[in-house]
Copies of this chain bind each other. A is one copy, B any other.
Amino acid sequence: MNLSPEAFVEVTPYLLTGLWYTLIITIIGVLIGCVIGTIFGIMRLSTNWFIKTVASIYVEVVRGTPLLAQIFFIHFGIPALFNFNFDALITAFGVIALNSGAYLAEIVRGGVQSVDKGQLEAGRSLGLNGRQTMRHIIWPQAVKIMIPPFGNQFIISLKDTSLLSAIAVTELMYQGQTYASITFASFETYLMVCVFYLLITIPASILLRFTERRLDHS
């Protein structure tokens, strides 16, 4: 046992820098993921066989492979073949967007499907067409249903950004690894890394549970 208390203090500024990147990557990545998820989620609900299959393949492949493999494939595999390179930060945004997009597509699909079928029937029987019913009746209710799983996905993606340390993106995990490899204060460093993640994820999930409860009541 040789705990060095000063390491807890020393590591903090490094981790704060990392946290900043972690948050930026998560927020931008998930926002782009929302757009992707909405498009592919709606595609999966399509009655057109082709559109549906394309969307399903995207969703299944992304959900069926580890994020780390996706990161390596995108960051090393694709440039090796096509002879172009991009900044690790671009990979970071891209991979979080692509990955969360697939999960969000399922959330969008699930949200729309879990709106009571009676709502569609009520809309259609008033004479609204499919598009109008979707827009004014189904979608607003589906979005409300999607909020909790969306929040959950945000937390998952936030934790997922830690894998970007493998391609030297200076997010929280990477900063911790670097500090630990310099000082070898591994215990103190990784404890603090966990604490920093918890500082975001715990309040986020409390907020999420609160929102969920409020939505339940309304």
Contacts and interface: CB of A to CB of B under 8 A. Distances in A.
Nearest to A189: B77
Contacts of A162: 66-69
Nearest to A72: B190
A13 interface: no
Contacts of A197: 64-66, 69
Contacts of A194: 61, 65, 69-70, 73
Contacts of A60: 202, 205
A78 B186 CA distance: 8
B65 A187 contact: no
B205 A77 contact: no
A166 interface: yes
B72 A205 contact: no
B3 A190 contact: no
Contacts of A78: 187
Contacts of A24: none
A72 B181 CA distance: 12
Interface in A111-142: none
A182 interface: no
Interface of A: 1-3, 60-61, 63-70, 72-73, 76-83, 155, 159-160, 162-163, 165-166, 173, 176-177, 180, 184-191, 193-194, 197-198, 201-202, 205
16 contacts: A3-B81, A65-B194, A66-B197, A68-B173, A69-B162, A69-B190, A69-B193, A69-B194, A72-B190, A73-B191, A73-B193, A76-B190, A77-B190, A77-B191, A78-B187, A79-B186
